[in-house]
Amino acid sequence: MANYPQRMFDAVSDFAAIGTPQGVTDKLAILLGSFGYTSFLVTSIPEPPLRLEPYILVNGWPKPWTEHYIARDYYKHDPVAAWARKTVNPFDWREAPYDREQDRQAAEIMNVATDFGLVEGFLVPIVRSVGFQACVTMAGRKPDLDPMAKRVIHGISVFAYMRISTLLGEQIKSKGALSATEKEILSWAAIGKTSWEIGQILNITKESVDELAKRAAKKLDAVNRTQAVVNALCRGEISI
């Protein structure tokens, strides 16, 4: 099992042959599991006060941990997420800098995570060409901590993320490309403009803005405008 170069080659070949986002997700779960990482998350990492939930692409965390994390609004105090927004290098969770004595909320997050089996964590930052930061983050009780294993996981994570994004983009295109106006609406929404403000900028009614935003969300497989903006950013449909 320790033939790391071969495992990397096999993983890339497998991902390239998979034709659905769910298929890539399932394969990623198997691969990370083979290194001892039993939980993982694929997500964009927005700046607080934005919340994490609308930006999650694949959620492989234990459900109780996800619920606890969201209920306690941990994201804005999470030292791992904070460090992921600043670095381009993969890192172990324990390497994320914070003052354990001064930042009690950060310390609580790191301590409580272990209660849910997230004992040893590893995060791979992903910097998109559109300037949108994302990551694949994972954890387990006793994962393989060999430096070569981490290099393989780095490559697997980046390739899996890009493959999922590509396949989701293809699904979106099959449902119809975003119109120029839909892109404009989502671009303005991304920087916090309301429907009324966007209508004034584009010289259309607020009702038209809402309708076009709904249409764009449907094309992007999003349940609301926030998720539509996130999906559009992730696929490079818009930029900020």
Confidence class for position 224, pLDDT limits 50, 70, 90? confident
Cα 32 to Cα 67, 69, 131, 215: the distances in Å are 23, 22, 27, 36
The torsion defined by the Cα of 125, 126, 132 and 134, in degrees rounded to 10, comes to -60
3-class secondary structure per residue, the chain:
CCCHHHHHHHHHHHHHHCCCHHHHHHHHHHHHHHCCCCEEEEEECCCCCCCCHHHEEEEECCHHHHHHHHHCCHHHHCHHHHHHCCCCCCEEHHHCCCCCCCCHHHHHHHHHHHHCCCCEEEEEEEECCCCCEEEEEEEECCCCCCHHHHHHHHHHHHHHHHHHHHHHHHHHHHCCCCCHHHHHHHHHHHCCCCHHHHHHHHCCCHHHHHHHHHHHHHHCCCCCHHHHHHHHHHCCCCCC
At 1, the pLDDT band (50, 70, 90 cuts) reads low
Prediction pTM value:
0.80
pLDDT at 172: 64
- Span 145-180, pLDDT tens digits: 999 999 999 999 999 998 988 887 777 666 677 899
The answer to whether 83 and 90 have CB atoms below 8 angstroms apart is: no
Q: From CA 54, how far away is CA 45, in angstroms rounded?
A: 10
Q: What is the mean pLDDT of the chain?
A: 90
- Beta-carbon count within 10 A of 52 CB: 21
What mean pLDDT is predicted for residues 197-212?
A: 95
Q: Are the beta carbons of 78 and 106 closer than 8 angstroms?
A: yes
Q: Could you tell me what percent of the chain has a pLDDT over 70?
A: 95
Mean pLDDT of 125-143: 84
For residue 130, pLDDT beyond 60: no
Domain spans, the chain = 4-172, 177-234
Percent of the chain with pLDDT strictly greater than 90: 65
* Mean pLDDT score, 20-35: 95
Domain 4-172 is classified in which CATH homologous superfamily? Transcription factor LuxR-like, autoinducer-binding domain (3.30.450.80)
> Hey, what CATH topology would domain 177-234 get?
Arc Repressor Mutant, subunit A (1.10.10)
Tally Cβ neighbours within 10 Å of residue 195: 20
Using CA atoms, how far apart are residues 197 and 202, in angstroms rounded to an integer?
9
Is 94 a residue whose pLDDT tops 80? yes
Rounded distance, CA 123 to CA 198, Å?
37
Can you give the pLDDT at residue 64?
Answer: 97
Cα four-point dihedral sign 163, 39, 234, 67 = positive
